[in-house]
Amino acid sequence: MADTLKLELVSPERLLLSEQVEMVIVPGAEGVFGVLPLHAPTISTLKPGFVQVYKGGAVAESFFVTGGFAEVTATTCTVLVDEAIPQGNLTREYAAQRLAAAKSRLDQAANDDDRRLAQVAIDNAEAMVQAAA
Amino acid sequence: MPSLKEFRVRIASVQSTKKITSAMKMVAASKLRRSQDAAEAARPYAERMERMLGNLAGAAAGRVGALPMLAGTGKDDVHLVVLMTANRGLAGGFNSNIIRSGRTLVRELLERGKTVKILAVGRKGRDAMRRDFRELIIGEYTEFGRKTVQFAEANEVASKVTAMFAAGEFDVATMIYARFKSAVSQIVTRQQIIPFPVPQASPTGDAQVVYDYEPSDNEILGALLPRNLAIQVFRAMLENAASFFGSQMAAMDSATRNAGEMINKLTLRYNRQRQAMITKELIEIISGAEAV
Protein backbone atom coordinates (compact mmCIF):
# COMPACT_ATOMS: atom_id res chain seq x y z
CA MET A 1 0.00 0.00 0.00
CA ALA A 2 2.83 2.35 0.76
CA ASP A 3 4.00 2.59 -2.84
CA THR A 4 0.73 3.83 -4.31
CA LEU A 5 -1.86 6.40 -3.34
CA LYS A 6 -5.47 6.75 -4.29
CA LEU A 7 -6.15 9.51 -6.77
CA GLU A 8 -9.63 10.90 -7.25
CA LEU A 9 -10.15 13.45 -9.99
CA VAL A 10 -13.61 14.96 -9.76
CA SER A 11 -15.36 17.57 -11.87
CA PRO A 12 -18.74 19.04 -10.90
CA GLU A 13 -20.43 16.90 -13.52
CA ARG A 14 -18.84 13.57 -12.67
CA LEU A 15 -16.07 11.47 -11.17
CA LEU A 16 -13.35 11.39 -13.83
CA LEU A 17 -10.76 9.17 -12.24
CA SER A 18 -10.54 7.01 -9.15
CA GLU A 19 -7.55 4.68 -9.01
CA GLN A 20 -4.28 3.74 -7.35
CA VAL A 21 -1.33 5.63 -8.79
CA GLU A 22 2.35 6.06 -8.02
CA MET A 23 2.59 9.81 -8.23
CA VAL A 24 0.49 12.82 -9.19
CA ILE A 25 1.75 16.20 -10.33
CA VAL A 26 -0.65 18.96 -9.33
CA PRO A 27 -0.47 22.61 -10.49
CA GLY A 28 -0.79 24.29 -7.09
CA ALA A 29 -1.41 28.01 -6.75
CA GLU A 30 2.02 28.46 -5.22
CA GLY A 31 3.84 26.18 -7.58
CA VAL A 32 3.49 22.79 -9.18
CA PHE A 33 3.96 20.00 -6.68
CA GLY A 34 4.26 16.25 -6.89
CA VAL A 35 2.30 14.02 -4.55
CA LEU A 36 3.81 10.70 -3.49
CA PRO A 37 2.41 8.33 -0.89
CA LEU A 38 2.89 9.60 2.69
CA HIS A 39 2.78 13.21 1.56
CA ALA A 40 2.03 15.66 4.37
CA PRO A 41 -1.69 16.52 4.59
CA THR A 42 -2.24 19.58 2.42
CA ILE A 43 -5.10 21.56 1.00
CA SER A 44 -4.23 23.78 -1.92
CA THR A 45 -5.95 25.79 -4.60
CA LEU A 46 -5.00 25.12 -8.20
CA LYS A 47 -4.07 27.36 -11.08
CA PRO A 48 -4.48 26.44 -14.76
CA GLY A 49 -2.08 23.67 -15.72
CA PHE A 50 -1.66 19.94 -16.10
CA VAL A 51 -2.55 17.24 -13.63
CA GLN A 52 -0.22 14.38 -14.50
CA VAL A 53 -0.77 10.85 -13.34
CA TYR A 54 2.27 8.59 -13.01
CA LYS A 55 1.98 4.86 -13.22
CA GLY A 56 4.85 2.45 -13.78
CA GLY A 57 7.38 5.26 -13.76
CA ALA A 58 5.84 7.20 -16.65
CA VAL A 59 2.99 9.61 -17.25
CA ALA A 60 -0.05 7.43 -17.77
CA GLU A 61 -2.60 10.19 -18.07
CA SER A 62 -2.59 13.93 -18.21
CA PHE A 63 -5.40 16.44 -17.89
CA PHE A 64 -5.44 20.15 -18.43
CA VAL A 65 -7.40 21.82 -15.61
CA THR A 66 -8.53 25.43 -15.40
CA GLY A 67 -8.53 25.61 -11.62
CA GLY A 68 -9.86 23.94 -8.52
CA PHE A 69 -8.73 22.44 -5.24
CA ALA A 70 -6.55 19.57 -4.13
CA GLU A 71 -6.75 17.76 -0.83
CA VAL A 72 -3.81 15.53 -0.01
CA THR A 73 -3.50 13.04 2.82
CA ALA A 74 -0.94 10.29 3.38
CA THR A 75 -2.90 7.78 1.33
CA THR A 76 -5.19 9.83 -0.91
CA CYS A 77 -5.12 12.75 -3.27
CA THR A 78 -8.48 14.30 -4.12
CA VAL A 79 -8.48 16.85 -6.92
CA LEU A 80 -11.63 18.90 -7.39
CA VAL A 81 -11.43 20.66 -10.73
CA ASP A 82 -13.64 23.20 -12.45
CA GLU A 83 -13.02 21.69 -15.82
CA ALA A 84 -10.66 18.97 -17.00
CA ILE A 85 -9.65 18.28 -20.58
CA PRO A 86 -7.61 15.17 -21.44
CA GLN A 87 -4.31 16.31 -22.92
CA GLY A 88 -5.05 14.47 -26.15
CA ASN A 89 -8.16 16.60 -26.69
CA LEU A 90 -6.37 19.86 -26.07
CA THR A 91 -5.35 20.95 -29.54
CA ARG A 92 -4.28 24.37 -30.66
CA GLU A 93 -7.45 24.70 -32.71
CA TYR A 94 -9.63 23.86 -29.74
CA ALA A 95 -7.86 26.36 -27.48
CA ALA A 96 -8.04 29.09 -30.12
CA GLN A 97 -11.72 28.37 -30.55
CA ARG A 98 -12.30 28.70 -26.83
CA LEU A 99 -10.40 31.95 -26.74
CA ALA A 100 -12.42 33.36 -29.64
CA ALA A 101 -15.67 32.31 -27.97
CA ALA A 102 -14.61 33.94 -24.70
CA LYS A 103 -13.60 37.14 -26.47
CA SER A 104 -16.85 37.43 -28.36
CA ARG A 105 -18.60 36.90 -25.05
CA LEU A 106 -16.75 39.86 -23.60
CA ASP A 107 -17.83 41.97 -26.57
CA GLN A 108 -21.43 41.03 -26.02
CA ALA A 109 -21.34 41.40 -22.25
CA ALA A 110 -24.19 43.63 -21.17
CA ASN A 111 -23.20 44.32 -17.57
CA ASP A 112 -20.35 44.05 -15.10
CA ASP A 113 -21.23 40.49 -14.08
CA ASP A 114 -21.08 39.30 -17.67
CA ARG A 115 -17.83 41.13 -18.25
CA ARG A 116 -16.25 39.58 -15.18
CA LEU A 117 -17.33 36.06 -16.18
CA ALA A 118 -16.10 36.63 -19.72
CA GLN A 119 -12.74 37.84 -18.42
CA VAL A 120 -12.36 34.67 -16.37
CA ALA A 121 -13.19 32.64 -19.47
CA ILE A 122 -10.56 34.55 -21.46
CA ASP A 123 -7.90 34.00 -18.80
CA ASN A 124 -8.66 30.28 -18.80
CA ALA A 125 -8.63 30.11 -22.58
CA GLU A 126 -5.31 31.95 -22.75
CA ALA A 127 -3.78 29.48 -20.34
CA MET A 128 -5.18 26.77 -22.56
CA VAL A 129 -3.61 28.27 -25.68
CA GLN A 130 -0.26 28.43 -23.92
CA ALA A 131 -0.54 24.86 -22.75
CA ALA A 132 -1.48 23.64 -26.20
CA ALA A 133 1.35 25.44 -27.95
CA MET B 1 -79.03 14.05 -26.08
CA PRO B 2 -76.07 14.59 -28.45
CA SER B 3 -76.25 12.85 -31.80
CA LEU B 4 -74.24 9.77 -32.67
CA LYS B 5 -71.91 11.80 -34.83
CA GLU B 6 -71.12 14.13 -31.94
CA PHE B 7 -70.23 11.14 -29.79
CA ARG B 8 -67.91 9.77 -32.43
CA VAL B 9 -66.11 13.11 -32.70
CA ARG B 10 -65.73 13.37 -28.90
CA ILE B 11 -64.34 9.84 -28.64
CA ALA B 12 -61.85 10.47 -31.42
CA SER B 13 -60.64 13.67 -29.79
CA VAL B 14 -60.22 12.08 -26.36
CA GLN B 15 -58.36 9.24 -28.01
CA SER B 16 -55.84 11.59 -29.57
CA THR B 17 -55.44 13.40 -26.24
CA LYS B 18 -54.68 10.07 -24.67
CA LYS B 19 -52.05 9.33 -27.29
CA ILE B 20 -50.36 12.64 -26.60
CA THR B 21 -50.36 12.29 -22.82
CA SER B 22 -49.06 8.75 -22.96
CA ALA B 23 -46.27 9.82 -25.31
CA MET B 24 -45.39 12.67 -22.96
CA LYS B 25 -45.31 10.22 -20.10
CA MET B 26 -42.79 8.04 -21.92
CA VAL B 27 -40.62 11.03 -22.78
CA ALA B 28 -40.73 12.28 -19.18
CA ALA B 29 -39.80 8.82 -17.91
CA SER B 30 -36.70 8.63 -20.08
CA LYS B 31 -35.68 12.19 -19.25
CA LEU B 32 -36.23 11.42 -15.59
CA ARG B 33 -33.78 8.56 -15.82
CA ARG B 34 -31.24 10.78 -17.49
CA SER B 35 -31.54 13.58 -14.97
CA GLN B 36 -31.35 11.09 -12.12
CA ASP B 37 -28.09 9.80 -13.56
CA ALA B 38 -26.78 13.35 -13.83
CA ALA B 39 -27.71 14.03 -10.21
CA GLU B 40 -25.95 10.82 -9.21
CA ALA B 41 -22.80 11.73 -11.15
CA ALA B 42 -22.59 15.14 -9.50
CA ARG B 43 -22.68 13.69 -6.02
CA PRO B 44 -18.95 12.77 -5.55
CA TYR B 45 -17.84 16.35 -6.10
CA ALA B 46 -20.37 17.72 -3.64
CA GLU B 47 -19.42 15.15 -1.03
CA ARG B 48 -15.70 15.84 -1.23
CA MET B 49 -16.30 19.55 -1.33
CA GLU B 50 -18.34 19.25 1.84
CA ARG B 51 -15.60 17.27 3.57
CA MET B 52 -12.96 19.81 2.61
CA LEU B 53 -15.18 22.66 3.70
CA GLY B 54 -15.87 20.98 7.03
CA ASN B 55 -12.13 20.64 7.59
CA LEU B 56 -11.37 24.23 6.70
CA ALA B 57 -14.29 25.75 8.54
CA GLY B 58 -13.39 23.71 11.59
CA ALA B 59 -9.90 25.18 11.46
CA ALA B 60 -11.17 28.70 10.88
CA ALA B 61 -14.00 28.52 13.41
CA GLY B 62 -14.00 30.98 16.25
CA ARG B 63 -11.25 33.07 14.76
CA VAL B 64 -11.80 36.75 14.37
CA GLY B 65 -12.38 37.90 10.85
CA ALA B 66 -14.31 34.83 9.82
CA LEU B 67 -15.56 35.23 6.29
CA PRO B 68 -18.97 36.88 5.91
CA MET B 69 -20.17 34.09 3.60
CA LEU B 70 -19.95 31.77 6.60
CA ALA B 71 -20.66 34.14 9.43
CA GLY B 72 -23.19 36.40 7.75
CA THR B 73 -23.14 40.16 7.76
CA GLY B 74 -24.48 40.32 11.27
CA LYS B 75 -27.70 41.80 9.94
CA ASP B 76 -30.97 40.27 8.85
CA ASP B 77 -32.60 43.09 6.91
CA VAL B 78 -32.41 42.28 3.24
CA HIS B 79 -33.36 38.83 2.04
CA LEU B 80 -32.66 37.31 -1.34
CA VAL B 81 -35.03 34.58 -2.48
CA VAL B 82 -33.79 32.35 -5.27
CA LEU B 83 -36.87 30.70 -6.72
CA MET B 84 -36.21 27.69 -8.93
CA THR B 85 -38.97 26.42 -11.17
CA ALA B 86 -39.23 24.84 -14.57
CA ASN B 87 -39.59 26.69 -17.84
CA ARG B 88 -42.54 24.61 -18.88
CA GLY B 89 -45.74 23.43 -17.35
CA LEU B 90 -47.82 20.29 -17.77
CA ALA B 91 -46.25 18.74 -14.71
CA GLY B 92 -49.07 18.58 -12.23
CA GLY B 93 -48.53 20.66 -9.13
CA PHE B 94 -44.78 20.96 -9.58
CA ASN B 95 -44.47 24.63 -10.40
CA SER B 96 -47.40 25.81 -8.34
CA ASN B 97 -46.11 24.07 -5.20
CA ILE B 98 -42.76 25.79 -5.49
CA ILE B 99 -44.36 29.11 -6.30
CA ARG B 100 -46.73 28.84 -3.35
CA SER B 101 -43.83 28.22 -1.01
CA GLY B 102 -41.99 31.17 -2.52
CA ARG B 103 -44.96 33.45 -2.22
CA THR B 104 -45.55 32.48 1.42
CA LEU B 105 -41.91 33.13 2.25
CA VAL B 106 -41.89 36.52 0.55
CA ARG B 107 -45.12 37.55 2.32
CA GLU B 108 -43.78 36.43 5.69
CA LEU B 109 -40.59 38.38 5.21
CA LEU B 110 -42.43 41.48 4.05
CA GLU B 111 -44.73 41.29 7.06
CA ARG B 112 -41.74 41.17 9.35
CA GLY B 113 -40.57 44.38 7.74
CA LYS B 114 -37.68 42.94 5.75
CA THR B 115 -36.63 44.01 2.32
CA VAL B 116 -36.99 41.20 -0.19
CA LYS B 117 -35.27 40.67 -3.52
CA ILE B 118 -36.22 37.86 -5.85
CA LEU B 119 -33.99 36.03 -8.29
CA ALA B 120 -36.14 33.89 -10.57
CA VAL B 121 -34.59 30.82 -12.17
CA GLY B 122 -37.12 29.30 -14.55
CA ARG B 123 -39.84 30.95 -16.55
CA LYS B 124 -42.89 29.70 -14.64
CA GLY B 125 -41.68 31.11 -11.36
CA ARG B 126 -40.78 34.41 -12.92
CA ASP B 127 -44.21 34.78 -14.50
CA ALA B 128 -45.97 34.05 -11.22
CA MET B 129 -43.76 36.40 -9.23
CA ARG B 130 -44.26 39.12 -11.79
CA ARG B 131 -47.95 39.13 -11.06
CA ASP B 132 -47.52 39.63 -7.32
CA PHE B 133 -44.13 41.17 -6.67
CA ARG B 134 -43.07 42.74 -9.93
CA GLU B 135 -40.90 45.40 -8.33
CA LEU B 136 -39.00 42.88 -6.16
CA ILE B 137 -37.54 40.85 -9.01
CA ILE B 138 -33.92 41.76 -9.51
CA GLY B 139 -32.90 39.12 -11.99
CA GLU B 140 -34.16 36.18 -13.96
CA TYR B 141 -32.84 33.21 -15.88
CA THR B 142 -35.29 31.64 -18.26
CA GLU B 143 -33.04 29.98 -20.80
CA PHE B 144 -31.61 27.27 -18.57
CA GLY B 145 -31.85 23.54 -18.75
CA ARG B 146 -32.94 23.38 -22.37
CA LYS B 147 -31.46 19.93 -22.67
CA THR B 148 -29.55 19.04 -19.56
CA VAL B 149 -28.50 21.12 -16.60
CA GLN B 150 -25.01 22.50 -17.21
CA PHE B 151 -22.62 23.39 -14.45
CA ALA B 152 -21.80 26.62 -16.28
CA GLU B 153 -25.41 27.71 -15.82
CA ALA B 154 -25.35 27.06 -12.10
CA ASN B 155 -22.06 28.88 -11.95
CA GLU B 156 -23.62 31.90 -13.59
CA VAL B 157 -26.37 32.07 -10.99
CA ALA B 158 -23.88 31.53 -8.20
CA SER B 159 -21.50 34.23 -9.37
CA LYS B 160 -24.36 36.66 -9.61
CA VAL B 161 -25.36 35.84 -6.03
CA THR B 162 -21.75 36.05 -4.86
CA ALA B 163 -21.20 39.40 -6.56
CA MET B 164 -24.38 40.79 -5.05
CA PHE B 165 -23.38 39.58 -1.61
CA ALA B 166 -19.91 41.07 -1.99
CA ALA B 167 -21.54 44.37 -2.93
CA GLY B 168 -23.61 44.20 0.24
CA GLU B 169 -26.93 44.02 -1.56
CA PHE B 170 -28.43 41.43 0.77
CA ASP B 171 -27.80 39.73 4.11
CA VAL B 172 -29.46 36.34 3.83
CA ALA B 173 -30.10 34.20 0.76
CA THR B 174 -32.60 31.37 0.60
CA MET B 175 -33.07 28.99 -2.28
CA ILE B 176 -36.39 27.31 -3.00
CA TYR B 177 -36.53 24.18 -5.12
CA ALA B 178 -38.15 20.75 -5.17
CA ARG B 179 -36.02 18.02 -3.68
CA PHE B 180 -36.31 14.76 -5.52
CA LYS B 181 -37.42 11.96 -3.24
CA SER B 182 -38.94 9.56 -5.73
CA ALA B 183 -40.75 9.68 -9.04
CA VAL B 184 -44.03 10.26 -7.24
CA SER B 185 -42.84 12.39 -4.36
CA GLN B 186 -41.02 15.70 -4.55
CA ILE B 187 -40.51 17.89 -1.56
CA VAL B 188 -40.44 21.65 -1.85
CA THR B 189 -37.39 22.72 0.11
CA ARG B 190 -36.13 26.02 1.41
CA GLN B 191 -32.40 26.03 1.82
CA GLN B 192 -30.37 28.85 3.26
CA ILE B 193 -27.27 29.33 1.14
CA ILE B 194 -25.82 32.54 2.60
CA PRO B 195 -24.64 32.54 5.33
CA PHE B 196 -23.85 28.92 4.67
CA PRO B 197 -24.53 26.51 7.52
CA VAL B 198 -21.20 24.77 8.05
CA PRO B 199 -21.26 21.00 7.69
CA GLN B 200 -19.98 19.48 10.91
CA ALA B 201 -16.73 17.62 10.39
CA SER B 202 -17.26 14.04 11.40
CA PRO B 203 -16.06 13.48 14.98
CA THR B 204 -14.62 10.10 14.07
CA GLY B 205 -11.75 9.35 11.76
CA ASP B 206 -9.47 11.87 10.17
CA ALA B 207 -11.07 15.04 11.46
CA GLN B 208 -8.03 15.63 13.65
CA VAL B 209 -5.58 15.68 10.76
CA VAL B 210 -3.80 19.00 10.59
CA TYR B 211 -3.47 20.21 7.04
CA ASP B 212 -0.94 22.46 5.42
CA TYR B 213 -2.67 25.21 3.53
CA GLU B 214 -1.42 26.62 0.26
CA PRO B 215 -1.88 29.60 0.14
CA SER B 216 -3.41 30.43 3.55
CA ASP B 217 -6.51 28.72 4.91
CA ASN B 218 -8.49 31.94 4.68
CA GLU B 219 -7.60 32.37 1.05
CA ILE B 220 -8.61 28.82 0.24
CA LEU B 221 -11.83 29.27 2.15
CA GLY B 222 -12.42 32.48 0.22
CA ALA B 223 -12.11 30.58 -3.03
CA LEU B 224 -13.91 27.49 -1.79
CA LEU B 225 -17.06 29.19 -0.54
CA PRO B 226 -18.19 30.71 -3.84
CA ARG B 227 -17.41 27.39 -5.48
CA ASN B 228 -19.45 25.61 -2.86
CA LEU B 229 -22.32 27.98 -3.53
CA ALA B 230 -22.14 27.09 -7.22
CA ILE B 231 -22.22 23.42 -6.30
CA GLN B 232 -25.24 23.89 -4.06
CA VAL B 233 -27.03 25.76 -6.84
CA PHE B 234 -26.03 23.10 -9.34
CA ARG B 235 -27.31 20.34 -7.09
CA ALA B 236 -30.58 22.17 -6.57
CA MET B 237 -30.98 22.62 -10.30
CA LEU B 238 -30.33 18.94 -10.91
CA GLU B 239 -32.78 17.91 -8.19
CA ASN B 240 -35.31 20.32 -9.59
CA ALA B 241 -34.94 18.90 -13.09
CA ALA B 242 -35.39 15.36 -11.80
CA SER B 243 -38.40 16.45 -9.73
CA PHE B 244 -39.91 18.18 -12.73
CA PHE B 245 -39.76 15.07 -14.89
CA GLY B 246 -40.98 12.88 -12.03
CA SER B 247 -43.91 15.17 -11.48
CA GLN B 248 -44.61 15.39 -15.20
CA MET B 249 -44.52 11.64 -15.50
CA ALA B 250 -47.02 11.23 -12.67
CA ALA B 251 -49.28 13.95 -14.09
CA MET B 252 -49.23 12.46 -17.57
CA ASP B 253 -49.84 8.99 -16.18
CA SER B 254 -53.01 10.09 -14.44
CA ALA B 255 -54.08 12.12 -17.48
CA THR B 256 -53.70 9.03 -19.63
CA ARG B 257 -55.74 7.01 -17.17
CA ASN B 258 -58.46 9.66 -17.03
CA ALA B 259 -58.62 9.79 -20.80
CA GLY B 260 -59.02 6.01 -20.88
CA GLU B 261 -61.90 6.18 -18.39
CA MET B 262 -63.55 8.91 -20.37
CA ILE B 263 -63.29 6.90 -23.57
CA ASN B 264 -64.96 3.95 -21.85
CA LYS B 265 -67.81 6.08 -20.57
CA LEU B 266 -68.35 7.79 -23.90
CA THR B 267 -68.27 4.48 -25.76
CA LEU B 268 -70.89 3.07 -23.40
CA ARG B 269 -73.20 6.02 -23.97
CA TYR B 270 -72.54 5.91 -27.68
CA ASN B 271 -73.52 2.23 -27.88
CA ARG B 272 -76.59 2.78 -25.74
CA GLN B 273 -77.80 5.52 -27.98
CA ARG B 274 -77.12 3.43 -31.06
CA GLN B 275 -79.24 0.64 -29.54
CA ALA B 276 -82.01 3.13 -28.76
CA MET B 277 -81.98 4.37 -32.35
CA ILE B 278 -82.21 0.84 -33.72
CA THR B 279 -85.06 -0.02 -31.36
CA LYS B 280 -86.88 3.14 -32.32
CA GLU B 281 -86.51 2.39 -36.02
CA LEU B 282 -87.73 -1.19 -35.50
CA ILE B 283 -90.81 0.04 -33.62
CA GLU B 284 -91.54 2.46 -36.44
CA ILE B 285 -91.28 -0.28 -39.08
CA ILE B 286 -93.41 -2.73 -37.09
CA SER B 287 -96.11 -0.22 -36.25
CA GLY B 288 -96.10 0.88 -39.89
CA ALA B 289 -96.55 -2.71 -41.03
CA GLU B 290 -99.41 -3.26 -38.53
CA ALA B 291 -101.23 -0.18 -39.76
CA VAL B 292 -101.38 -1.51 -43.33
Give yes or no: residues A76 and A16 share one domain. yes
B160 touches chain A (CB under 8 A): yes
Give yes or no: residues A11 and A67 share one domain. yes
Report residue A70 CA to chain centroid gap. 10
User: Under an 8 A CB cutoff, do A12 and B42 touch?
Assistant: yes
User: Under an 8 A CB cutoff, do B156 and A71 touch?
Assistant: no
Q: Quick: pLDDT tens for B202-236.
A: 544 444 567 788 778 778 888 888 888 888 899 88
Report residue B233 CA to chain centroid gap. 12
ipTM of model: 0.78
Q: Quick: pLDDT tens for A71-83.
A: 898 888 999 988 8
B166: which chain A residues are within 8 Å (Cβ-Cβ)? none
Give yes or no: residues A35 and A78 share one domain. yes
A8: which chain B residues are within 8 Å (Cβ-Cβ)? 44, 48
Give yes or no: residues A114 and A50 share one domain. no
User: Under an 8 A CB cutoff, do B223 and A44 touch?
Assistant: no
d(CA A124, CA A118): 10
User: Under an 8 A CB cutoff, do B212 and A10 touch?
Assistant: no
Give yes or no: residues A26 and A42 share one domain. yes
Give yes or no: residues A69 and A113 share one domain. no
Give yes or no: residues A48 and A20 share one domain. yes
Give yes or no: residues A77 and A23 share one domain. yes
Q: Is the pLDDT of residue B186 over 50?
A: yes
A15: which chain B residues are within 8 Å (Cβ-Cβ)? 41, 44-45
Q: Could you list the residue range(s) of the whole structural domain that residue A34 is in?
A: 5-87
List the single residue in A with minimal CA-CA distance to B209. Answer: A41
Give yes or no: residues A82 and A39 share one domain. yes
Give yes or no: residues A11 and A61 share one domain. yes
Domain count along chain A: 2
d(CA A106, CA A111): 10
User: Under an 8 A CB cutoff, do A29 and B214 touch?
Assistant: yes
**B184 — pLDDT class (breaks 50, 70, 90):** confident
Q: Which among A14, A15, A73 has CB closest to B209?
A: A73
Give yes or no: residues A12 and A33 share one domain. yes
Q: Quick: pLDDT tens for B25-39.
A: 999 999 999 988 888
CB-based burial, A40-65: b 16+ in 10 Å, e otherwise: ebbbbbbbbbbbbbbeeeeeebbbbb
Show which of A87, A104, A122 is a domain's final residue: A87
Q: Is the pLDDT of residue B275 over 80?
A: yes
User: Under an 8 A CB cutoff, do A30 and B159 touch?
Assistant: no
The secondary structure element, H or E, covering residue B258 is helix B217-291
Give yes or no: residues A61 and A114 share one domain. no
Among candidate residues A80, A78, A35, the one with its CA nearest the CA of residue A54: A35
